[in-house]
Structure 1
Amino acid sequence: MSNNDGLYSTSPSGPQEPHEYTIGEIAELLGVTTRTLRHWDSIGLLSPEYRTWSDYRLYTEDDVDSALEILVYRSAGVPLKDIAELVSEEASPKTRRQRLLTQRNLLVEKIADLRRMVRSLETLLKEDTTMDTEKKAELFGRNWPEYEAEAEQRWGDTPEWQQSQEAQKNMSAGDWAEVKAEMEDFVSSLADAHSRNVAPGSAEAAQLVDRHLASITRFYEAGREKQVLLARMYVADARFDEMYRGHSQYLLDLVEAQARAEGIDPNEAQWR
């Protein structure tokens, strides 16, 4: 067993022992926080095989390989619960190759999607004009016209719809590009918070909830009660859950906890 810093000593005349990493070392190596690694351990996603006499985690080269696999899947937007299934297979040459091919395909799809988005944003920013439905579809996906038509049918006679339409009239293509970028950043932050088990009602959770509300009030007036009802809609509608990468229930938990902290009973929330 290694000493307490987790490193083997090497004899000049003997073979080099396998290297072990402390939690701080592997966190720095992978570019993640120690809190993230502890969470992965607590859910059984990445549990180091060895510990020091002082019960500090020690990570092997195999653990590093597993961690890199997890990061690949996370970068492609795969939920942690699905990643656990993907990395739980036996590491035989055949299954390892299959897993690497799966990761490659996920990243290729992600890269293609990001390149398409960048091209769309560059075009829109050069034009810097107001956007019609066709251009919104280019930026937000080809299903945008369907969503927009459905939204008008459901809420076209509400003050919020009128406020939203008025706000959009004054938005340039650059403004829409900013909306898209902010949404992507928020969803990534939400997914990261969920992976680190950020607790509803915490200070970090409150910041996420306020960021989400700000994205709504960009288009129409809304408070915490409306936010609760919208978050419930995201859970009920699979299309919204997909947009939030499967984290809509977590978002609802955060919003409802913040509502309670502000003296609002989520079960009594009304659209007002």
Structure 2
Amino acid sequence: MNKKPMTVHEVVNLTGITARTLHYYDEIGLLKPSIVTEARYRLYTEEDLIRLQEILFFREVGFALKEIKKLLDAPHYNRSEALERHLSILEAQKERIDGIIALIKNEINGGKNLAFTAFSQSKVIELQTQFRDEIIERWGNTESFRQFEEIFSSQSRKIQNEQISSFYCTAQELFEKLATYEGKTPSCLEVQQIVQKWQEYISEHFYQCDSQMLSYLGNLYLTDERFSEFINRFGGENLAMFFSKAIEAYCTKQRSESNER
């Protein structure tokens, strides 16, 4: 790895993470650059990049940024042990991909046997769940997944395990992105695009989410403590309120455009 401190631009090119995300990590104390020049340029050392890598590992298994900070700062955190767990998950993901590749090659070569087991994420999800449970027990008093899991019954999780996992990953991605825009207005273009993606995801995977339903959900995210706590895990304590206002602005615009037609 390059020993010379790297600028924000260089880290962006190396990792694919946006500059906005790096600034947000700095703002919440998750990843502060070791060097800030007199001209206010952020420079990241090798140790900073190692921490960034660990952050990305933990995001892969579903921990929120606040929780990752607690884990990495925990006095008994063991990096080598965490990497071993990450490796087992990645190997399971590779095994799944190899199975799908073999299935496709078989089809190309004229194979006619229908097979669907290669598409299953069950082994990956099982390892991720086991890893999260071990992390919570051994290295931190994190609330990871607890508010989220309270929303769903144990029976529902067993029946729709992969669907729930997909929902969580999408929620994590969108809400963490939303958190980086909390300094802007809820009606700004970037925030409204996030609301639209959320509406499209719900419609595609759960039920038809028109403006009326989305507006109802926006109120629910604010008034139901379970949903508020879940959303707030990915940003500040007012992220759920910010999201609710963004949804309200989105639905108001949708209704206005509908009336003009």
TM-score of the pair, normalised by structure 1 = 0.54
Inter-partner Cα distance in structure 1 for 2:250 and 2:178: 20
1:257 match? 246
Asked whether the 8 Å contact 1:20–1:60 carries over to 2, the reply is yes
| 1:18–1:208 distance in 2 versus 1, CA, 3 Å | closer
Instruction: Establish whether residue 105 from structure 1 lines up as the match of residue 91 from structure 2.
Output: no
User: Which of structures 1 and 2 has the larger relative contact order (alpha carbons within 8 angstroms, sep 6+)?
Assistant: 2
Asked whether the 8 Å contact 1:186–1:211 carries over to 2, the reply is no
2:61 match? 76
- Name the SS of the counterpart of 2:12 in structure 1: helix
1:40 match? 25
Instruction: Establish whether residue 225 from structure 1 lines up as the match of residue 212 from structure 2.
Output: yes
| 1:144–1:42 distance in 2 versus 1, CA, 3 Å | closer
- Name the SS of the counterpart of 1:58 in structure 2: strand
Indicate which of 165, 168, 187 corresponds to 1:201.
187
Give the CA deviation at 1:88: 1.8
Aligned length: 207
| 1:116–1:87 distance in 2 versus 1, CA, 3 Å | same
Inter-partner Cα distance in structure 1 for 2:99 and 2:219: 34
Percent of paired sites with the same residue: 23
Unmatched segments (≥5 aa) in structure 2: 104-112, 127-151, 254-261
- Name the SS of the counterpart of 2:24 in structure 1: helix
Query: Where does 1:77-92 land on structure 2 (aligned, <5 Å)?
Result: 77-89=62-74
**Structure number with larger C-alpha Rg:** 1
Give the CA deviation at 1:41: 0.9
TM-score of the pair, normalised by structure 2 = 0.56
Give the CA deviation at 1:192: 4.2
| 1:117–1:258 distance in 2 versus 1, CA, 3 Å | farther
2:139 match? none
RMSD of aligned Cα (Å): 5.1
Query: Where does 1:160-239 land on structure 2 (aligned, <5 Å)?
Result: 183=167, 186-187=170-171, 189-194=173-178, 196-197=180-181, 199=184, 200-218=186-204, 221-231=208-218, 233=220, 236=224
C-alpha offsets along residues 163-211 of structure 1, whole Å, 9 cap, x if unaligned? Answer: xxxxxxxxxxxxxx9x899857743531441463455333122122122
Inter-partner Cα distance in structure 1 for 2:9 and 2:207: 45
Inter-partner Cα distance in structure 1 for 2:81 and 2:202: 39
| 1:221–1:113 distance in 2 versus 1, CA, 3 Å | same
Give the CA deviation at 1:146: 4.0
Inter-partner Cα distance in structure 2 for 1:39 and 1:191: 13
2:6 match? 21
Asked whether the 8 Å contact 2:6–2:44 carries over to 1, the reply is yes
Q: Counterpart of 2:40 in structure 1: which amino acid?
A: D
